[in-house]
Amino acid sequence: MAGHSHWARIKRKKGVTDARRGRLWSKLARNIMAAARMGGGDPDANLKLRYAIDKAKQANMPKDTIENAIRKGSGGTEGAEFQTVLYEGYGAGGVAVLCEALTDNRNRTAPEIKKLFEKHGGTVGAAGCVQWMFSQKGVITVDASAADEDTIAAIALEAGAEDYSRSEGTWEITCEPAAYEPLRAALAAAGIATMSAELSMVPSSTVTVNAENGAKVLRLVEALEEHDDIQNVYANFDIPAEVMASLEG
């Protein structure tokens, strides 16, 4: 969980500029269109579309933009045909990196991703080289001021969550995908707002990195996330608190 947690906290501290927000909304709209094209425009009958819409709402995407993306995706076969592709490799210090892309041109995307890895001290690997290190989990974060530990523990236990932890003012709750919706519903029923909720790829083990490699890994993850075709980036780095403080300083 370390890579996911570290990067999530850093992004929250950085905030979202207008340029980044526009890029993020473009990616989220593409994700909605692809989900609607694949499974139809009804989020009640298309779980992938519902999750794509939820993610767009968390990013404060306007309602009419979301609805327009659904219409475009479910309106037929016009426009680009997007495919989900995984890119796998290693960052500095042997950190495993897994990227999920949504692209209409693999021949364009693959060399661009390879170049980003190499620019930041990493290498692209063969299919399956790191995917086995990750498993899909539900990851939900809650502001620590919204509930005490007893409340979080009780809800997590009742909803079938695997674990919860507190770090830098937030509760982070993890669960198997099957418990994701019940857990979200239980938090909502208790009147506890979520800061973020997503199905994420969580590493089974982590690699501790020093300041030099940590900086390279963070730059690689940021560069990958800024690529237009990349939807999600997962990594298994662990940066000690004192090293993280120096990198954030």
pLDDT of 72 reads: 86
How many domains, in total, are found in the chain? 2
pLDDT of residue 186: 95
Residues 160 and 117 in one domain: yes
C-alpha closest to that of 108 among 129, 85, 78: 85
- Percent of the chain surpassing pLDDT 90: 61
- Long-range Cβ pairs for the range 162-165 (8 Å, 24+): 162/137, 165/1
> How many other CB atoms sit within 10 Å of the CB of residue 145?
9
Residue at which a domain ends, from 52, 74, 96:
74
Task: Quote the pLDDT of residue 108.
Answer: 94
The residues, ordered by sequence, that sit 6+ positions from 242 with a Cβ below 8 Å of its Cβ are none
E strand map for the chain: 83-90, 96-103, 123-124, 134-143, 163-167, 170-175, 196-203, 207-208, 230-235, 237-238
Query: Whole-number mean pLDDT of the chain?
Result: 87
The torsion of the CA quartet 48, 51, 55, 60, rounded to 10 degrees, works out to 110
Mean pLDDT, residues 225-232:
92
> Minimum mean pLDDT among 21-35, 101-115, 140-154: which range?
21-35
Q: Are residues 55 and 93 in the same domain?
A: no
The first and second tokens of residue 140, run together, are 């939900």
Pick the last residue of a domain from 74, 102, 120. 74
Listed range (65-74, 150-159, 237-246) with the worst mean pLDDT:
237-246
Tokens of 169: 């003012």
Nearest to 230 by CA among 30, 17, 5, 3: 30
Is the domain of 112 the same as that of 21?
Answer: no
Q: Are residues 156 and 169 in the same domain?
A: yes
**pLDDT exceeds 90 at position 14:** no
Please answer whether residues 187 and 142 qualify as being in contact, where contact means their C-beta atoms are separated by less than 8 angstroms: yes
Q: Which domain holds residue 19?
A: 13-74
Same domain flag for 126 and 162: yes
- Residue 111 confidence (pLDDT): 97
Q: Give the CATH number for residue 31.
A: 1.10.10.200
| Percent of residues, the chain, with pLDDT higher than 70 | 89
Q: Are strands 96-103 and 196-203 parallel, antiparallel or unpaired?
A: unpaired
Q: State whether 97 and 210 are in the same domain.
A: yes
Query: Is 197 found in the same domain as 214?
Result: yes
Cβ contact 202:131 at 8 Å: no
pLDDT per residue as tens digits for the range 140-187:
999 999 999 999 999 999 999 999 998 878 899 999 999 999 999 999
Does residue 17 carry a pLDDT above 70? no
Write down the pLDDT at residue 1.
39
Mean pLDDT of 29-46: 89
- Do 107 and 177 lie in one domain? The reply is yes
The domain spanning residue 149 has which CATH number? 3.30.70.980
Do 48 and 102 lie in one domain? The reply is: no
In this structure, the answer to whether residues 159 and 248 fall within a common structural domain is yes
Write the burial class of residue 95 (CB in 10 Å: 0-12 exposed, 13-18 middle, 19+ buried). Answer: buried
| 149 shares its domain with 234 | yes
Same domain assignment for residues 148 and 215: yes
pTM attached to this predicted model: 0.83
